[in-house]
Homo-oligomer: A and B are copies of this chain.
Amino acid sequence: MQKNNAKQVQLSHGGGGKEMNRLIKEIFFNAFDNPILRSEEDAAVLHFDGNLAFTTDSFTVAPLFFAGGDIGKLSIAGTVNDLAMMGAEPQYLSCSFIIEEGFAIESLKTIVSSMASELKKSSARIVCGDTKVVPKGCADGVFINTSGVGRILNSGISVKNLQLGDKIIVSRDVGRHGAAILMARESLALESELTSDCATLWPIVEQLIAANIDIHAMRDATRGGLSAVLNEWASASEVGIEVIEDAVPVCDAVKGLCELYGFEPFDLANEGTFILAVPDASVEATLEIMQRFCHCEQSAVIGQVTDTRQGKVVLQTPCGSQRYLDVPQGELLPRIC
């Protein structure tokens, strides 16, 4: 009994007493160690001069482990990417765990070690945290919230800044994360080469900023996929967006799963795929930089900003017709991220 208990998270690990202190020191401090975290104050003390970006995300993905990542990797990449998409250098993250009683300590360690690895892809550090444990049945495994702050290096990027003639670029093939989760959930072994695109995007964004690319808008296509981002842009910038359906890269495995389950690849969530709007003159330089990164080898222009059908996204289909690409609605996939 005692032995078993030592391998699972107990309610006492969230009680604010000795057991919680031990869990935090042995698992979290060990993995995330840095001088700010070690200060033991109620809040981290940071220094900023200028504009910073501040963002938050809670992660409830099921299953916790999937092809190409896990909830730990996702929780770091997700918040780092939100900062990067604002042209901000990801610097400081908080991390807050809600853990179900009985959760395996080994799995918790694996998740935390994933977080630590993913943190190395940018200069982001975890500087404060919180741990709650809820009784068995009151949560499903582990939920993680990460919030983040970082200084803004490029302040021109905005959802409202799309301009007539801008070209729309996607960084890689779309729909992988959604399809990978679907595959994991349905235990489909067939599509074994399909992995989530889950990745930290800061290294690419850093290069784009360093090269002074005139980025008008930039967004990672998470829940709601490409469709949600393009519609948000068209609406916020009061422009039309025209997309060439055939120009959007989609891998065969994602196409196959979408046909099988009746999903639209453009609606599926991504976790390491982003979309840019840049003026025509910047397209070549943008693609040249992006294609240096192996997961962006397929980056491509997929459309442009127009002055017709303000607020709408129009898809040019391969058969020559046009249709609106709408904001996704309905249930899609729950617990995708």
Contacts and interface: CB of A to CB of B under 8 A. Distances in A.
Query: In the complex, which of the residues A19, A52, A145 has the most CB atoms of chain B within 10 Å of its own CB atom?
Result: A145
Interface stretch (A254-262, A287-295, A328-336): A328-336
A44 B54 contact: yes
Nearest to A160: B40
A219 interface: yes
Contact of A134 (B14, B128, B335): B335
Contacts of A40: 159-160, 232, 236
Interface in A150-201: 152, 155, 158-160
Contact of A219 (B42, B132, B139, B228): B42
A128 B58 CA distance: 12
A247 interface: no
A143 B99 CA distance: 12
Interface string A44-55: 111111111111
Interface string A1-23: 00000000011101111111100
Interface stretch (A27-35, A80-88, A110-118): A80-88
B86 A224 contact: no
Query: In the complex, which of the residues A10, A220, A335 has the most CB atoms of chain B within 10 Å of its own CB atom?
Result: A335
Query: In the complex, which of the residues A152, A159, A223 has the most CB atoms of chain B within 10 Å of its own CB atom?
Result: A223
B47 A50 contact: yes
Contacts of A219: 42
Closest 3 CB pairs of A and B: A16-B223, A16-B224, A56-B94
Interface of A: 10-12, 14-21, 40-60, 62, 82-83, 85-86, 88, 92, 94-98, 101, 127-130, 132-135, 137-140, 143, 145, 147-149, 152, 155, 158-160, 219-220, 222-225, 228, 232, 236, 267, 269, 327-335, 337
